[in-house]
Structure 1
Amino acid sequence: MRFLSRIILKMLGWQLDEQLPAINKYVLIGYPHTSNWDFIMGMLAKWAMNMPLNWVAKHSMFWGPFGPIFVAMGGVPVNRGKASGFIQKNIDLFNSRECFVLGLMPEGTRSKTDKWKTGFYHIADGANVPIALAYLDYKNKKIGVGKMVETTGDIDSDFEIIKSFYQDKTGCNPKNQSDLIIKK
């Protein structure tokens, strides 16, 4: 899959930014998330970089025959409509494993939202792991993992670093791109 994914990305004119963290545990967030194409491009990048990524998506995406396929691809379904202890469960997973990478889209949807969800931050801070900033920049046809952010417990200060990194990234549907503001 690595070789094939690299060829597909190259044929599509995309440049792969391969600054993968040299550590075994981190939360990876992706921004912007404005299209169904983001999933396809993200999977191509995951395979091209040989990244051991578990990714979170809404439970309704895991219907029928797609459920087992997406789980085999590292997918983790979450029902956003009911409380499930998601943050603590993931902190516990980080604490119980030698190697764990969890990918989340803080916007939580492809539609424009006024604020990001902060579960990614609370998981990283609670598990004492850094946050890797992954991106899809359709304007420049660049995809990859850039900066790493160590949490300090001061979400406002840490988010300013995250916001600064993402401010020049453009989604597939820029009108759906969410503001870089966290939900409080």
Structure 2
Amino acid sequence: MRVFGWRVLPVPAPPPKAVVLVYPHTSNWDFPIGILARTVMQLRIGWVGKNTLFHWPFGALMRALGGTSIDRSHQQGMVSQLRTEFDRHATFYIVITPEGTRRHTEHWKSGFYHLARELEIPVGLTYIDYARREVAIAEWMRLSGDVEKDLAHIRDVYRGHQGRFPERMGEIRFKDR
């Protein structure tokens, strides 16, 4: 990464399993930067992608790069689909981009929160900061179950970090129900 002018900060001691939350996600360049960063971090981190990314001719490549296919039309949703993956492995990390898109969004998707709470695993608060040209897992956070308190802490951790297209950065809050 240094060759490209980027740096990857040291990783705090990792737990055996975690949801790795990457924010902000504003550019297609986040993917290759993330793939290179995980190599430097020496963690076998997988990622979640919509099932259409895993069709021919790119499906085999996507899986080789650590991708896990998620069918967004599936009635049981992302949580039940990923629970199976976590149960199959002693050590497992999966990247989720909570915005669910590279465009600006008014709220985050809450699947990562439900998954981490249900499986009682931490969330790796990870950023790709284009202004500083650095990637880091800032911390492994155990969610308390108090959504507003947890989101306030997450906002504090991500404050000041900038995506490639800052105007596309989504609001760090869940949709009102």
TM-score bucket (shorter structure): over 0.9
Q: RMSD in angstroms over aligned alpha carbons?
A: 1.5
In terms of mean alpha carbon deviation, does 64-73 or 38-47 score higher? 64-73
Partner of 2:145: 153
Partner of 1:120: 112
Contact 1:95 1:127 in 2 (8 A): no
Structure 1 gap ranges (5+) = 1-8
Distance in structure 2 (CA, Å) of the matches to 1:61 and 1:131:
25
3-state secondary structure, aligned to 1:144? strand
The structure 2 residue matched to 1:93, chosen from 85, 95, 113, is 85
Q: Aligned letter for 1:119?
A: G
Q: Aligned-pair distance for 1:163?
A: 1.1
Q: Aligned-pair distance for 1:20?
A: 4.1
Per-residue Cα deviation, 1:125-163 (whole angstroms, up to 9, x for no partner): 000000001110001111121112101111221111111
- The answer on 1:43 being equivalent to 2:35 is yes
Q: Aligned letter for 2:86?
A: F
3-state secondary structure, aligned to 2:124? strand
Call closer, same or farther: CA 1:65–1:21 in 2, change over 3 Å: farther
Q: Aligned letter for 1:39?
A: F
Distance in structure 2 (CA, Å) of the matches to 1:85 and 1:57:
13
Per-residue Cα deviation, 1:76-129 (whole angstroms, up to 9, x for no partner): 122323424420232343344311111100000001110000100110000000
TM-score by length of 2: 0.92
Distance in structure 2 (CA, Å) of the matches to 1:39 and 1:96:
25
Q: Aligned letter for 1:112?
A: H
The equivalences for 1:8-157 within 5 A come to: 9-157=1-149
Distance in structure 2 (CA, Å) of the matches to 1:23 and 1:118:
22
Contact 2:17 2:92 in 1 (8 A): yes
Distance in structure 1 (CA, Å) of the matches to 2:52 and 2:80:
22
The total of aligned residue pairs comes to 176
TM-score by length of 1: 0.89
Partner of 2:155: 163
3-state secondary structure, aligned to 2:108? coil
3-state secondary structure, aligned to 1:108? coil
Distance in structure 2 (CA, Å) of the matches to 1:30 and 1:117:
13
Identity, % of aligned pairs? 32
